[in-house]
Protein backbone atom coordinates (compact mmCIF):
# COMPACT_ATOMS: atom_id res chain seq x y z
CA UNK A 1 0.00 0.00 0.00
CA UNK A 2 1.52 3.33 -1.02
CA UNK A 3 1.19 6.46 1.02
CA UNK A 4 0.12 9.57 -0.79
CA UNK A 5 1.99 12.73 -0.03
CA UNK A 6 -0.71 15.37 0.31
CA UNK A 7 1.82 18.20 0.01
CA UNK A 8 2.63 17.18 -3.55
CA UNK A 9 -1.01 16.88 -4.49
CA UNK A 10 -2.00 20.33 -3.27
CA UNK A 11 0.27 22.84 -5.02
CA UNK A 12 -1.33 25.82 -3.28
CA UNK A 13 -0.62 24.66 0.26
CA UNK A 14 2.16 27.21 0.77
CA UNK A 15 0.41 30.01 -1.09
CA UNK A 16 -0.15 33.14 0.98
CA UNK A 17 -2.74 35.75 0.16
CA UNK A 18 -3.71 38.85 2.09
CA UNK A 19 -7.21 38.79 3.48
CA UNK A 20 -8.47 41.69 1.38
CA UNK A 21 -11.85 41.65 3.04
CA UNK A 22 -10.29 42.91 6.28
CA UNK A 23 -8.85 45.98 4.54
CA UNK A 24 -12.09 46.90 2.77
CA UNK A 25 -10.39 47.11 -0.63
CA UNK A 26 -10.86 45.38 -3.93
CA UNK A 27 -8.22 43.04 -5.24
CA UNK A 28 -5.57 44.62 -7.52
CA UNK A 29 -6.40 48.18 -6.56
CA UNK A 30 -3.79 50.84 -5.97
CA UNK A 31 -4.11 53.15 -3.02
CA UNK A 32 -2.06 56.29 -3.12
CA UNK A 33 -0.45 57.00 0.19
CA UNK A 34 0.82 60.28 1.51
CA UNK A 35 4.57 60.41 2.04
CA UNK A 36 6.13 61.82 5.17
CA UNK A 37 7.64 65.31 4.60
CA UNK A 38 11.14 64.06 5.44
CA UNK A 39 10.79 61.26 2.88
CA UNK A 40 9.74 63.80 0.25
CA UNK A 41 12.86 65.90 0.97
CA UNK A 42 15.11 62.83 0.78
CA UNK A 43 13.59 61.83 -2.56
CA UNK A 44 13.91 65.37 -3.95
CA UNK A 45 17.59 65.52 -2.86
CA UNK A 46 18.26 62.13 -4.42
CA UNK A 47 16.68 63.19 -7.71
CA UNK A 48 18.69 66.44 -7.69
CA UNK A 49 21.94 64.56 -6.96
CA UNK A 50 21.19 62.14 -9.79
CA UNK A 51 20.60 64.98 -12.24
CA UNK A 52 23.89 66.57 -11.17
CA UNK A 53 25.73 63.30 -11.80
CA UNK A 54 26.69 62.73 -8.17
CA UNK A 55 25.65 59.08 -8.15
CA UNK A 56 27.32 55.97 -9.51
CA UNK A 57 25.98 53.41 -11.95
CA UNK A 58 24.59 50.04 -10.94
CA UNK A 59 27.46 48.35 -12.75
CA UNK A 60 30.05 50.41 -10.82
CA UNK A 61 28.38 49.50 -7.54
CA UNK A 62 28.45 45.82 -8.49
CA UNK A 63 32.20 46.08 -9.19
CA UNK A 64 32.82 47.71 -5.82
CA UNK A 65 30.80 45.10 -3.95
CA UNK A 66 32.55 42.23 -5.73
CA UNK A 67 35.92 43.76 -4.93
CA UNK A 68 35.04 44.32 -1.29
CA UNK A 69 33.28 40.96 -0.83
CA UNK A 70 34.87 38.47 -3.25
CA UNK A 71 33.08 35.52 -1.64
CA UNK A 72 29.73 36.85 -2.94
CA UNK A 73 28.87 35.61 -6.39
Q: Is 17 left (phi over 0), alpha (psi -120 to 50) or beta?
A: beta
Q: Per the confidence metrics, is the pTM higher than 0.95?
A: no
DSSP codes, 38-59 = HHHHHHHHHHHHHHTT-S--HH
d(CA 7, CA 65): 40
User: pLDDT of the chain along its 73 residues, tens only?
Assistant: 455 555 555 666 666 666 655 555 565 555 567 888 899 999 999 999 999 999 899 999 999 999 999 988 7
Amino acid sequence: MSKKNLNHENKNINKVEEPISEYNVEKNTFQEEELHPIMIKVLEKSIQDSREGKGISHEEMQKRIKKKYPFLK
